Amino acid sequence: MLKTNSKFIYLVIFKHLDARTTRQVNLKNEVQTAVILVGGAGLRMRPLTEDIPKCMIPLYGKPLIHWTLNWLKNYGFKHIVLGVAYRKEIIINYITENPMGMNIDFSEHTIEGETGEGFRLAIERYVNDDNFLAMNGDELTNLNLQKFAEFHLKHKPVATIAVSPMRSPFGILEIDANDIVEFKEKPILEDKLVSTGIYIFNRTISNYLPMRGAIEKTTFPLLTKNRLLKAYKLGENERWLTINSIKDLSTAEKEFALIRGL
């Protein structure tokens, strides 16, 4: 993060960053609504989240939610539904003052209800589209939403998950008897794919959402059994980070320019 004694220079540079991340893309399909869950308590981000929700933690002079909305706006998204719970008034006040020219609704759910309740209530209350983006509010990515949407609309599953090769949090060893013959420090495992927490849902997803609980433990396993869940693999130049810890935030600060194409 840039540090300077000049407040004027500090503000000008952040305005420049914000302007460079505003690149309009014509999204030529019917996916123009996004449901974003920003209701978690962010316990792994303490003490940063003791007084604010995780999506309001600053990254390059703006809250995380700003960069998510900026990314969506660049792809022509017009309607956003924010699922709020923990310290919801802070999010509502910020977005009300900074709507970014978008139609933004707020859907309240409980922290205990997890992603199942969060998505279910948001969809029931505010989503009329046949297909829409859904995601967690702690993701930072340059995922091409045009290609993602085209994939989903072509294959027509109930849900499509954007997936990425796993970055191992540990060093990976190759062993022959008791000898370590290869050591790779925190490599990217191309044969192991993980969910990015970014999805496109068909409206029929409502038939599979629980009253309460995590969709990762309920909805997705059910969809896989019925072959109703597709995977869209991020391209070679597409990057993704999920910000679940202070260490993740530090990584996001280092890789922000790369992800945002600055």
Q: Would you say residue 176 lies in a domain?
A: no
Nearest to 68 by CA among 13, 127, 145, 14: 145
The pLDDT of residue 27 is 52
pLDDT one-digit tens code per residue, 2-47: 343 433 333 433 444 454 444 555 555 579 999 999 998 888 888 8
pTM of the model: 0.84
- Helix, strand, coil shares of the chain, percent, nearest 5, are 35, 30, 35
For the chain, the straight-line distance linking the first and the last C-alpha, in angstroms and rounded, comes to 15
pLDDT one-digit tens code per residue, 96-133: 998 889 999 999 999 999 999 999 999 999 999 999 99
The pLDDT of residue 255 is 81
Give the number of domains in the chain.
1
> If DSSP states are collapsed to H, E and C, what string results for 82-107?
EEECCCHHHHHHHHHHCCCCCEEEEE
Nearest to 240 by CA among 229, 230, 250, 255: 255
Bridge partner list, 139: 242
CATH number of domain containing 122: 3.90.550.10
| pLDDT band, very low/low/confident/very high, at 261 (cuts 50, 70, 90) | low
Which domain range does residue 215 map to?
Answer: 7-159+191-260
Q: Which one is predicted more confidently, 236 or 218?
A: 218
Q: Are 112 and 193 in contact (CB under 8 A)?
A: no
Q: Are 45 and 90 in contact (CB under 8 A)?
A: no
Q: Would you say residue 165 lies in a domain?
A: no
Q: Are 241 and 235 in contact (CB under 8 A)?
A: no
Bridge partner list, 195: 163
- Quote the CA–CA distance of 44 and 108 in Å, as a whole number: 22
Tally Cβ neighbours within 10 Å of residue 58. Answer: 13
Q: Would you say residue 146 lies in a domain?
A: yes
* Dihedral sign from CA coordinates of 187, 189, 195, 199: positive
Q: Would you say residue 171 lies in a domain?
A: no
